[in-house]
Amino acid sequence: MPTAAPRVPALPVTFRPTRTRIVLLSVGAVMCTVLIAVTLLLERLSGPERVSFIFTALLFFGVLALLSRPKVVADEDGVTVVNLTRTRRLAWPEILRVNLRPGDPWVFLDLSDGTSLPALGIQPGIAKAQAIDDARALRALAESRGTRQDER
């Protein structure tokens, strides 16, 4: 079944798994609030025990906030890939191909240095159709601005 050519979005554009981000931050906030409230309401806990419970609640929220961090930002000069703990800036000619194959957990960028970079900011987890649209848009941008435009 042929598909229409993907539209090239206006720049700058940010791709991120919005639904996943909302779920992670909501669950983190609720769990952190509940754990801290229960900790403060339990009269049998000593001071150090309260501190450890509050620290655990904040640590739990921090991990979920870290998991909600990934995004891909495309602008006139290139792409910034923000993953869990690392950020990498790529010029358009460095991106040879944008891949999101069936079963992939996120987009992979094939780079001109022979490596592949995961871009966790586009992931089909909760919103598969949105991830496919985002991958197609990023692919169209890479093909129109990168080295692939010379191969046509």
Q: Residue 70's closest CA among 122, 24, 144? A: 122
Q: Which residues have CB under 8 Å from 147's CB, separation 6+?
A: 93, 96, 112
pLDDT above 70 (res 27):
yes
What number of other Cβ atoms are within 10 A of residue 29's Cβ? 13
Query: Is the separation of the CB atoms in 127 and 17 below 8 Å?
Result: yes
Which residue in 87, 128, 88 sits closest to 111, CA to CA? Answer: 88
Please tell me the pTM assigned to this model.
0.82
The residue with tokens 């769990």 is 31
Q: Specify the higher pLDDT residue, 127 or 24.
A: 24
pLDDT above 60: residue 148: no
Q: How confident is the model at residue 79 (pLDDT cuts 50, 70, 90)?
A: very high
What is the C-alpha to C-alpha distance for residues 90 and 124, in angstroms, rounded to an integer? 23
Q: Which residue has the tokens 């703990």?
A: 85
Sheet with 116-119, strands from edge to edge, namely 95-99, 107-111, 116-119
